[in-house]
Amino acid sequence: MAVAGSPFATDAVGAPLAMSRDAKFLYSINWVTHGSLLAFGIQADGSLLSVPGAPFVTAAQILLLVAHPTADFLYALDYSGNIAAYTINSATGALTLQPATSVAVQASAAVISPDGNHLYTLSTAGIVEYSVDTATGALTALAGSSIPNDLVPGVATIDPSGRFMYVTNTSVFTGFGGALYVFSIDPQPGAVTLISGFSPTVGPQESVAVDATGKYAVVSTVVTSKTGPDCFAVQSIDGTSGMLSPVPGSPFPGTYSNGSCGVLLADPSGSYLYAGSGGVGVYSLDETTGVPESVTSSALAGMVVTSLAVTH
């Protein structure tokens, strides 16, 4: 059900979203200029109010946002590969730029570990690993990791245990798709290592999400003449190795628009899965079988959805 006053007029159409650790504030990018950060306070009824002082002007055009999961920090990656760190005022949501910034290879994806101790940027040149000072938000670059030659990172996600990273491959545009690459993460130094082998997915990959239990990875695909209406390739995660295997019946049909099954978001506190494509579809993921079942008809039908965030 749409919140009163929704949709809220902004210049964030199609821009990425980031939620503060306490789900009190929502951040995005001015998609017209890419040169400022939008900030909103989330009210009790879900409505949005602009944070005092917003929008916050940036020194460069911003591409990606990553919020710290356990502390009041927001990281903004610009098109040149620089990472700017901001502190979040926990009372007002206002952003303050920290003096120290780090430089990464031009990244197409970024993700932070569930404990907030490590941040990773991904590009065709490899994975750059950073340790995070959870007191100040400062980043320290660690040794990087190589990636397969055919991997053009699209979406990266880390399972709730913080031990495995799953990365979609945007280098494949036709046919039945390619490899969804799996990396292991050594929790102490944060080092990333490619796990030998890969799990095939149905159709070119769009997004990947891991459910709250860490048992299943769900991959959304582009609908083609070969895939039919099947949108979701659900993979069972081996808790020891991190490797994937299709659950019985996978892939499963879902709502799609213009051949796109869209971006995925797993509820971090429950069994729900949200899919943004021609609106927002809500699915319940059976924790025993991994089978997704539609809960509601698509909200905001016909709207192009490129980013999702939840408050719980």
All residues at 6 or more sequence positions from 299 whose CB lies less than 8 Å from its CB, including other chains = 1, 2, 279, 280, 282
As to burial, measured by CB atoms within 10 angstroms (0-12 exposed, 13-18 middle, 19+ buried), residue 27 is: buried
Q: Which residues pair with 245 in a beta bridge?
A: 236
DSSP assigned state of 44: T
Whether 76 and 84 have beta carbons less than 8 Å apart is answered as yes
How far is it, in rounded angstroms, from Cα 90 to Cα 168? 33
Nearest to 129 by CA among 155, 160, 167, 102: 102
**Residue 139 and residue 108 in contact, taking contact as beta carbons nearer than 8 Å:** no
Helix H or strand E segment including 184: strand 179-185
The pLDDT of residue 263 is 83
* The 263-266 sheet, strands edge to edge: 263-266, 272-276, 280-285, 292-299
Q: Which residues of the chain have pLDDT under 70?
A: 1-14, 33-34, 172-178, 197-203, 224-228, 258-259, 278, 297-306, 312
User: How far is 170 from 130, CA to CA, in rounded Å?
Assistant: 24
DSSP-derived 3-state class of residue 74: strand
Residue 216 tokens read as: 């299943």
Q: Say what the pTM is.
A: 0.88
The residues near 188 (Cβ < 8 Å, ≥ 6 apart) are: none
List, in order of start, the domains of the chain with CATH numbers. 1-144 (2.130.10.10), 150-312 (2.130.10.10)
Q: How does DSSP assign 277-295, residue by residue? A: SSSEEEEEEPTTT--EEEE
Residue 49 neighbours by CB distance under 10 Å = 14
Cβ atoms within 10 Å, residue 175: 11
Q: Alpha-carbon distance 144 to 155, whole Å? A: 18
Cα–Cα–Cα angle for 43, 74, 12, rounded to 5 degrees: 60
> Could you tell me the two tokens for 1?
């059900």
Chain mean position to CA 275: 12
Single-letter amino acid code for the residue at 45? D
Contact 183, 162 (CB under 8 A): no
Q: Round to whole Å and give the CA distance between 276 and 297.
A: 12
> CA 185 → CA 161, 182, 207, distances in Å?
10, 10, 20
Q: What is the pLDDT of residue 145?
A: 86
